[in-house]
């Protein structure tokens, strides 16, 4: 009898855990499994990104690829909830808002860390 109750409890727990695992919302961008219609590549060296600004189009799935060319860096674009790091990593997002979004280095990489800032411009 006790065993049956324990079994029931653990399966209820599993269902709750599974429910929590899915979902999640985003603000400035939608995460997407869509085929990207454009792509930008952001390359990091010590201590800058390869461009001062990157341009993408609103409502268009874009594949954002981040590459470490020199050193160990990452990017974070808080406005689009994008965070990438490692040798080469990418993510497809659909920007839902036009405007300028800050791209910053997400890893404490050394003396030039605070200067590693670029802009992502989402065009209407
Ligand atoms: Cu850094």
pTM: predicted TM-score of the whole model, two decimal places? 0.76
pLDDT for the residue 24: 41
Mean pLDDT of 39-47: 98
| Short-list 46, 58, 101, 107, CA closest to 79 | 101
What is the 54 CA–ligand 1 centroid distance (Å)? 19
* Structure-token match 């499994």, residue found: 33
Mean pLDDT of 27-31: 73
What is the 91 CA–ligand 1 centroid distance (Å)? 20
* Structure-token match 């605070």, residue found: 114
């Amino acid at each position: 009898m006790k065993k049956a109750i324990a079994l029931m409890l653990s399966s209820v727990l599993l269902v709750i855990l599974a429910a929590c695992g899915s979902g999640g919302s985003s603000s400035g961008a939608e995460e997407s499994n869509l085929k990207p219609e454009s792509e930008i590549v952001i390359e990091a060296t010590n201590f800058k990104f390869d461009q001062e600004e990157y341009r993408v189009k609103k409502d268009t799935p874009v594949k954002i690829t981040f590459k470490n060319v020199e050193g160990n860096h990452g990017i974070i674009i808080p406005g689009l909830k994008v965070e990438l790091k490692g040798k080469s990593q990418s993510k497809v997002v659909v920007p839902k808002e036009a405007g300028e979004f800050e791209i910053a280095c997400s890893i404490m990489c050394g003396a030039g860390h605070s200067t590693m800032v670029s802009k992502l411009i989402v065009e209407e």
